[in-house]
Structures are given as structure tokens and as C-alpha cells.
Amino acid sequence: MRLNKQEKLALCALDKIVRALSGGAAALLTLEEGSALKNCLGFDIQESTTPMGGINALVRGKDYPLVLLISPRGQFEQPPRNCFFPFQIREYNSKLITCPRCGSQAREARQNG
């Protein structure tokens, strides 16, 4: 089967993710590889994973990022975005919820699973 350049790039990115999930080093993906995954395979890495800022607690033993998304914007390089898959997250960040009837506020953290 003949593959075009974007399909080859998407398969290479998917292979990096599989190696990271199998116990290898964290996968470094560029925005170009992320968009190739989305366009060719329908897998949006930014929508499927959660950055560190949206997480309260991680599952023990799965607390290291498997995918680092490199996104150079403009002249200055930004630090890579840590991407955590849903099976790594025990608790998402809590949100302040206001009761519409009485106006009381409470924090609610969404649990995974």
C-alpha cells in the first residue's frame, strides 16, 4: 500500500505513542504530527488527553506524562504540554458550583471511572 507523506507522519506519531504506552520513553509529538493524527486517523491528541493544569490527582504508578506535545508559537518556544490519558487520572480539578436556588457554593471534583 502506498501512503502519502501525511499518512506516514500519522503512523509514525501513533508508533511513538504505542512505544510510550508499552513502557518506553515519553513520546515527543509536534503540532504537525498531532494534526496528521487528527486528519488521517481521526484521533485528536489534544481533545483525548488532559494537561497537568486540569488534574488534581493521578493514579499511582501512572503519574508520568506519556505524551509531550511540542508547540512552538511565534519566535519563542513554549514548554511542552504534558498530555495525560484518562486511564492515568484519578481526580480532575475541582470546580466551584453555585446553587441556583439558595446561592450556596460548594466545590465538586469529577472522579474518573
- Mean predicted lDDT score pLDDT of the chain: 85
Pairing of strands 67-70, 27-30: parallel
Q: What is the CA radius of gyration of the chain?
A: 18
pLDDT in the model for residue 113: 56
CA–CA separation, 47 and 85 (whole Å):
10
pLDDT-derived band of residue 110, with 50, 70 and 90 as boundaries?
Answer: low
Q: In what order do the strands lie in the sheet with 55-58?
A: 55-58, 89-98, 105-111
What are phi and psi for residue 32, nearest 5 degrees?
-65, -40
Q: How far apart are CA 58 and CA 53, in angstroms?
A: 12
* Residue with more model confidence, 13 or 99: 13
3-class DSSP state of 34:
helix
Please say if the pLDDT value at position 79 is more than 90.
Answer: no
Indicate if the pLDDT at residue 75 is higher than 70. Answer: no
Pull the grid cell for residue 23.
513502557
**What is the C-alpha separation between 50 and 25, in angstroms, rounded?**
19
